Amino acid sequence: MAVRKAPEGSREVTLRRWSVMEITTRQGARSHHVHGHDVTNNFARTSSAIGEFDAHNMTVFTRSGRLYKLVGRPGNYPAGKSAWDTWCSSNGISTQTDVTDQYLSIDTCSTLGFDRLTRAALREENS
């Protein structure tokens, strides 16, 4: 799968079917990255390193200054695996671990909570 660059002006991204991965580079640096389906641009997206996570609003601020709104339950976007693997290969990633449960554990969240977060994020996206 070809990797596409994100539009330059897009500082806010809405992701669905998202996951958070901890990576380690060949040099030993560790960081967390969110990836999933970019609803606005309709393609798989991988973030730069996560700088801050807001669990109440389900948002991720990356070190590069982009805001990611995480919509709905974590999951797997079918095109996302290929895009993630390409990103890892391009960035010299030696190990990767799924750490999504550190950000949102499905077992501890209610369905109503997911619905509230999803409706709020989609309302903002459509306004």
Q: What is the pLDDT of residue 112?
A: 56
| Pure H helices in the chain | 80-90, 100-103, 111-126
Q: What is the pLDDT of residue 123?
A: 61
* Paired residues of 98 in beta bridges: 21
Which of the residues in the chain have pLDDT under 70? Answer: 1-9, 105-127
The strand pair at 67-71 and 12-25 is best described as parallel
Total-model pTM:
0.78
Which tokens go with 27?
Answer: 């040099």
